[in-house]
């Protein structure tokens, strides 16, 4: 399998490019508009045909490259069924399988950071890794104070869905701010400081007391992303 | 296998932590002093026993964590046989095998960026990937204008050694500045702009005309690294 992780240093975003191999159809998850040319270079040099560009959710901290990638490659843009983005050409619901030339992703509805976030499980028959967007991060979790976020739903998505995946399932989030590039479900169950040994009430209390400033790009990014970054 | 790549945003350095699995002995390649606590957290949470800390070469752009990690874990520090760093506890020569609890690395002498740089091939019987330090980067190569660097030797290390590895061998460099986290030998043969379709004379001309400023940390990093970052 061809698996490439890219990092956008400005927004600390991880983007994932996957295909069964060189010369095959491929898909990309959580691409950043400013990096679109980097992805297109990789896609061309690896001789891939991009057929799906996926956002796990409507991002508030960067503008998506979905629209630009569709324009450049003719790929389908894909998000979860509850997105407000009208420009998206395909939607997934719980347990839908996205199958791109042998690469299989199972859609898992994981609200909490936003009310329309999905995670995507790679190789659902023998779970290899899960793309969690912002709901579950490495030793952290995505904020729950805007865009329909809800700490109870975040807890439920993580503890009652993601934590039921096999412990050695790798975790590939949409962000990390400390230089970590991957984790695993087992690691987060044991060592995520917001979750390990905590009750739901304690988690909700933690999330309600974060008092984070709004993302710098929020007022630009959300409307832009509802238009697939082409607004 | 447990494989973790870390990123130090200040120096754009990639560091690699490897082990056969949780609870096993592990090794680390090109660790950055400022990130030592991040690695120690990962090592503790993954229940690893760090037994080797390896520098591919004497870095000029960041201070190594070799000394700090040895102090914290009792691991052996390891570099190539031509290093001037007197604090290193073990040295490797061409084709030596570093074997840590089933993780095997073959040492490949690859001078050019410095005169003492080694690369390390993971799983030499069935090459999986190669840690190249700074000699071969993703779509680039390490500068050759100080620390015994030499563009002819860089060409020879890359074209006559690394490019003879199987094309699907992954490339894991010590740096990237554009957000790419991995490549492959085949990709670099085909698409590295300094090497693909170039002659040795053309490559040498390119490298001699880069006119890069010295790394900001050079005057601090080199003497510090000769003392394993503990000077």
Q: What pLDDT does B215 receive?
A: 87
Q: What pLDDT does A150 receive?
A: 97
Q: What pLDDT does A100 receive?
A: 98
Question: What's B195's domain CATH number?
Answer: 3.60.15.10
Confidence of residue A219 (pLDDT cuts 50, 70, 90): confident
pLDDT, average across residues B29-56: 98
Residue B170 sits at the chain A interface (C-beta within 8 Å): no
Instruction: Among A9, A46, A186, select the one facing B9 at the smallest CB separation.
Output: A9
Let me know if residue A231 belongs to a domain.
no
Let me know if residue A154 belongs to a domain.
yes
- B39 and B7 Cβ atoms separated by less than 8 Å: no
Q: What is the mean pLDDT of chain B?
A: 96
Instruction: Among B6, B46, B182, select the one facing A179 at the smallest CB separation.
Output: B6
Residue B187 sits at the chain A interface (C-beta within 8 Å): yes
Confidence check on the interface: ipTM exceeds 0.90, yes or no? yes
Residues in chain A within 8 Å Cβ distance of B8:
179
Pick B172 or B218 by higher pLDDT.
Answer: B172
Number of domains in chain A: 1
Confidence of residue B231 (pLDDT cuts 50, 70, 90): low
Q: HSE-up of B168 (CA within 13 Å, CB side)?
A: 7
Residue pLDDT, tens place only, B87-145:
899 999 999 999 999 999 999 999 999 999 999 999 999 999 999 999 999 999 999 99
Q: What pLDDT does A216 receive?
A: 85
> How many contacts (CB atoms, under 8 Å) link A and B?
47
Residues in chain A within 8 Å Cβ distance of B178:
38
Let me know if residue B217 belongs to a domain.
no
CA–CA gap between residue B169 and residue B156 (Å, rounded): 19
Length of chain B as a residue count: 231
Please give the residue range of the domain that contains residue A87. 2-226
Let me know if residue A7 belongs to a domain.
yes
Residue A188 sits at the chain B interface (C-beta within 8 Å): no
CA–CA gap between residue B35 and residue B63 (Å, rounded): 10
Query: What torsion, rounded to 10 degrees, do the Cα atoms B113, B118, B123, B124 define?
Result: 100
Instruction: Among A22, A179, A187, select the one facing B7 at the smallest CB separation.
Output: A179
**Res. A231: pLDDT tops 70:** no
Residue pLDDT, tens place only, A152-208:
999 999 999 999 999 999 999 999 999 999 999 999 999 999 999 999 999 999 999
Q: Which is it for strands B25-29 and B49-54: parallel, antiparallel or unpaired?
A: parallel
Residue pLDDT, tens place only, A7-60:
999 999 999 999 999 899 999 999 999 999 999 999 999 999 999 999 999 999
Phi, psi (rounded to 5 degrees) for B93:
-115, 170
The pair of structure tokens assigned to A142 is 């995505």
pTM comes to 0.96
Residues in chain A within 8 Å Cβ distance of B9:
9, 179
Let me know if residue A32 belongs to a domain.
yes
Residue B197 sits at the chain A interface (C-beta within 8 Å): no
Closest residue on chain A to B21 (Cα):
A168
Residue with token string 């590295």: B192
Residue A45 and residue B190: Cβ atoms within 8 Å? yes
Let me know if residue B225 belongs to a domain.
no
Residue B8 and residue A179: Cβ atoms within 8 Å? yes
Let me know if residue B221 belongs to a domain.
no
Residue pLDDT, tens place only, A58-114:
999 999 999 999 999 999 999 999 999 988 999 999 999 999 999 999 999 999 999
Q: Looking at chain B, list the stretches that DSSP marks H as alpha helix, in order from N- to C-terminal side.
A: 36-45, 66-73, 151-160, 185-191, 200-208, 218-226
Q: Where are any strands of DSSP class E within chain A?
A: 2-8, 13-19, 25-29, 49-54, 76-80, 90-92, 97-100, 103-109, 118-122, 129-133, 136-137, 140-141, 170-173, 183-184
Let me know if residue B142 belongs to a domain.
yes
Q: What pLDDT does B71 receive?
A: 96
Residue A182 sits at the chain B interface (C-beta within 8 Å): yes
CA–CA gap between residue B144 and residue B152 (Å, rounded): 9
């Amino acid at each position: 399998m061809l698996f490439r992780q890219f990092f956008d240093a400005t927004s600390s975003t991880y983007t994932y490019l996957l295909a069964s191999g060189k010369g095959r159809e491929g898909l990309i998850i959580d691409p950043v508009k400013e990096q679109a040319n980097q992805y297109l270079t990789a896609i061309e040099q690896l001789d891939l045909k991009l057929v799906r560009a996926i956002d796990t959710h409507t991002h508030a901290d960067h503008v998506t490259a979905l629209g630009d990638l569709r324009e450049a490659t003719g790929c389908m843009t894909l998000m979860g069924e509850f997105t407000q983005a009208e420009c998206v050409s395909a939607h997934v619901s719980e347990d839908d399988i996205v199958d791109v030339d042998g690469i299989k992703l199972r859609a898992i509805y994981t609200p909490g950071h936003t009310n329309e976030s999905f995670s995507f499980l790679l190789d659902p028959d023998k779970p290899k890794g899960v793309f969690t967007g912002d709901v579950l991060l490495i030793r952290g979790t995505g904020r729950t104070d805007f865009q329909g976020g809800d700490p109870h739903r975040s807890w439920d998505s993580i503890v009652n869905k993601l934590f039921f995946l096999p412990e050695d399932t790798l975790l590939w989030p949409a962000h990390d701010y400390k230089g970590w590039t991957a984790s695993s479900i087992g690691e987060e169950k044991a060592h995520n400081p917001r979750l390990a040994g905590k009750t739901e009430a304690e988690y909700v209390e933690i999330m309600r007391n974060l008092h984070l400033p709004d993302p710098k790009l929020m007022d630009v990014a959300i409307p832009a992303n509802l238009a697939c970054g082409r607004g």
